[in-house]
């Protein structure tokens, strides 16, 4: 398996003689941070935020769902997290002593039909990554966890979720995120790593520069699907259930602008923690928006109603997932600054109008251009 991965491994810049010095020259005095999955949606926005903060992001990505065009800051290493040796080489090459770990599979529905694949990539991949990190003396890890670790867990629909709420994932995807958290926590205790698991709620929006944005293929997230439906490029939107115990009957979610999420990663990297510490922190706004409110916001932004129908509930969809975000403020000094729903939708729409990459997006792009 390792041999197969290694044949894919190459570095983003041409190697030169004395390459250790060369990598040092690449990054100057900036601290290098290995960003697994940094060619993906949230990872690319975080690489930009790291660079703006004076770090040198080293994106380590298999490009299984990410895009080379999204890697615009720091360096790129093509590799698979399941290949501990390739990860160790990248850590050595750039002298990285911290890792932000985004790499993995994310589609909840796919995890139901292919749970083994999710355990292989998300859990075994994280095990392998941790092995390389331990061998190379990495001191800090920030891990992409998810509100999916909670499930509904007996909570009332309008209650926000603190970090110590019952963990009851309702999908194999959520199971893998929780398993990774447990494993990371145990390794902190055993080996002196310090780690912050950020439990994201619903990441949305795009960087206003237009350079990077959301490009999942297939797209399963509500805001891009609603925009595509409004513009007539996607299928009409299906709203999965309008009979939940919520104010308007549709599910409540906590939408967080991807740039606010990126800022939370920088804060988690910089927060002072003793060796062996493990912290789990929600990253959300503390405010829920219903599916119906999102549909209306997209209608306002596009100037067109979103064609939609009401379908059956999806198995395992909790009625509400809204963060209690006070710990992020207390521990990390982080608060959202750009996660107003209309702002998120406006930034998402700007990206959809002119996506810099993502093959599924060209038709949408043309459609928007033709209406301007
Ligand atoms: N998008 C959300 O709303 C959301 C919510 C909660 C948690 N998360 C978590 O955040 C992380 C990033 O999500 P995203 O939306 O940016 O997803 P994404 O699919 O855009 O990015 C994932 C990246 O990981 C890479 N990757 C996958 N398997 C790999 C492997 N074996 N080795 C190396 N690279 C690999 C992909 O090529 C891709 O670039 C994921 O771990 C996800 O579970 C996302």
Position in ligand 1 atom list of the atom nearest CA 202: 3
Counting ligand 1 atoms within 8 A of each CB, the residue from 41, 45, 121 with the most, and so the one to mutate, is: 41
Q: Is residue 198 part of a domain?
A: yes
How many domains are there within the chain? 1
Task: Out of 41, 150, 173, 255, pick the active-site residue.
Answer: 173
Q: What pLDDT shows up at residue 370?
A: 28
Q: Is residue 201 part of a domain?
A: yes
Helix extents (H) in 97-199: 108-113, 115-118, 125-135, 172-191
Counting ligand 1 atoms within 8 A of each CB, the residue from 65, 68, 84, 161 with the most, and so the one to mutate, is: 65
Q: What pLDDT shows up at residue 2?
A: 30
> How far apart are the CA of 242 and the centre of ligand 1, in A?
29
Q: What is the three-class DSSP state of 323?
A: strand
Q: What pLDDT shows up at residue 318?
A: 85
Neighbours of 260 (CB within 10 A): 22
- Taking alpha carbons only, the member of 42, 41, 40 closest to residue 60 is 40
Token pair in block for residue 367: 């459609």
Q: What pLDDT shows up at residue 24?
A: 67
d(CA 340, CA 293): 12
Q: Is residue 323 part of a domain?
A: no
Q: What pLDDT shows up at residue 9?
A: 34
Instruction: Specify the CATH number for the domain of residue 169.
Output: 3.40.50.720
pLDDT tens sequence for the chain (372 residues): 333 333 333 334 333 333 445 566 678 889 999 999 999 999 999 999 999 999 999 999 999 999 999 999 999 999 999 999 999 999 999 999 999 999 999 998 899 999 999 999 999 999 999 999 999 999 999 999 999 999 876 787 779 999 999 999 989 999 999 999 999 999 999 999 999 999 999 999 999 999 999 998 888 899 999 999 999 877 899 999 999 999 999 999 999 999 999 999 999 999 999 999 999 999 999 999 999 999 999 999 999 999 999 999 987 788 899 999 999 999 999 999 999 999 999 999 999 888 999 965 444 443 433 222
β-pairing, 56-61 with 32-36? parallel
Token pair in block for residue 39: 């060619």
Q: Is residue 38 part of a domain?
A: yes
Q: Is residue 137 part of a domain?
A: yes
Q: What is the three-class DSSP state of 114?
A: coil
Residue 84's alpha-carbon distances to 90, 216, 266, 287, in angstroms, are 10, 26, 25, 40
Q: Determine contact, residues 127/84, Cβ cutoff 8 Å.
A: no
d(CA 181, CA 199): 10
Q: Identify the residue whose C-alpha is closest to ligand 1 atom 3.
A: 203
Position in ligand 1 atom list of the atom nearest CA 66: 39
d(CA 140, CA 273): 9
d(CA 88, CA 85): 5
Q: Identify the residue whose C-alpha is closest to ligand 1 atom 7.
A: 146
Position in ligand 1 atom list of the atom nearest CA 82: 31
Q: What pLDDT shows up at residue 170?
A: 87
Position in ligand 1 atom list of the atom nearest CA 42: 16
Q: Identify the residue whose C-alpha is closest to ligand 1 atom 18.
A: 40
The reply to whether 173 belongs to the active site is yes
Neighbours of 210 (CB within 10 A): 14
- Taking alpha carbons only, the member of 364, 343, 157, 185 closest to residue 256 is 343
d(CA 82, CA 61): 11
Position in ligand 1 atom list of the atom nearest CA 64: 37
Eight-state DSSP code of residue 95? T
Token pair in block for residue 7: 């044949």
d(CA 59, CA 254): 28
β-pairing, 255-257 with 202-204? parallel
Q: Is residue 81 part of a domain?
A: yes
Q: Determine contact, residues 133/193, Cβ cutoff 8 Å.
A: yes
d(CA 79, CA 195): 23
Helix extents (H) in 210-361: 222-230, 258-270, 291-302, 326-332, 341-353
> How far apart are the CA of 61 and the centre of ligand 1, in A?
10
Q: Is residue 8 part of a domain?
A: yes
Q: Is residue 125 part of a domain?
A: yes
Q: Identify the residue whose C-alpha is closest to ligand 1 atom 42.
A: 106
Q: Which domain holds residue 92?
A: 2-22+29-205+256-283
Residues with CB under 6 A from ligand 1: 36-37, 39-43, 61-66, 80-82, 102-104, 106, 121, 125, 144, 146, 200, 202-203, 216
Q: Identify the residue whose C-alpha is closest to ligand 1 atom 13.
A: 42
Crossing angle (nearest 10°) for helices 222-230 and 291-302: 40
Counting ligand 1 atoms within 8 A of each CB, the residue from 1, 4, 34, 37 with the most, and so the one to mutate, is: 37
Go through the chain and tell me how many residues it has. Answer: 372
d(CA 163, CA 154): 15
């Amino acid at each position: 398996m390792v041999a197969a991965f290694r044949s894919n491994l190459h570095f983003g810049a041409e190697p030169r003689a004395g390459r250790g010095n060369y990598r040092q020259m690449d990054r100057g005095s900036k601290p290098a941070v290995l960003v697994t999955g940094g060619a993906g949606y949230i990872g690319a926005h975080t690489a930009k935020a790291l660079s703006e903060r004076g770090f040198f992001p080293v994106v380590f990505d298999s490009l299984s769902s990410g895009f080379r065009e999204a890697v615009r800051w720091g360096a790129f290493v093509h590799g698979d997290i399941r290949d501990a040796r390739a990860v160790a080489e990248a850590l050595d090459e750039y002298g990285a002593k911290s890792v932000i770990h985004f790499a993995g599979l994310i589609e909840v529905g796919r995890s139901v039909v292919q749970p083994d694949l999710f355990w292989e990539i998300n859990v075994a991949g994280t095990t392998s990554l941790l092995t390389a990190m331990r061998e190379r003396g990495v001191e800090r890890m920030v891990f992409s966890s998810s509100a999916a670790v909670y499930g509904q867990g007996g909570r009332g629909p309008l209650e926000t979720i603190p970090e110590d709420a019952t963990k009851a994932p309702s999908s194999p995807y959520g199971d893998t995120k929780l398993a990774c958290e447990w494993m990371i926590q145990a390794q902190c205790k055993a080996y002196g790593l310090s780690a912050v698991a950020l439990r994201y709620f619903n990441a949305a929006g795009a960087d206003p520069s237009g350079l990077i944005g959301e490009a999942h293929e297939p797209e399963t997230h509500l805001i891009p699907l609603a925009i595509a439906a409004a513009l007539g490029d996607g299928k009409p939107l299906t709203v999965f259930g309008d009979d939940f115990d919520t104010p308007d009957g549709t599910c409540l979610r906590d939408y967080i602008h991807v740039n606010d999420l990126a800022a939370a990663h920088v804060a988690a990297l910089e927060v002072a923690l003793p060796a062996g510490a493990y912290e789990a922190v929600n990253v959300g706004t503390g405010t829920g928006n219903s599916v119906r409110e999102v549909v209306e916001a997209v209608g306002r932004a596009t100037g067109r109603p979103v064609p939609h129908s009401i379908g059956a509930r999806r198995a395992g969809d909790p009625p509400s997932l809204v963060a209690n975000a006070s710990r992020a403020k207390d521990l990390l000094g982080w608060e959202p600054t750009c996660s107003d729903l209309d702002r998120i939708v406006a930034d998402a729409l700007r990206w959809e109008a002119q996506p810099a990459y993502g093959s599924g997006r060209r038709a949408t792009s043309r459609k928007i251009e033709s209406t301007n």
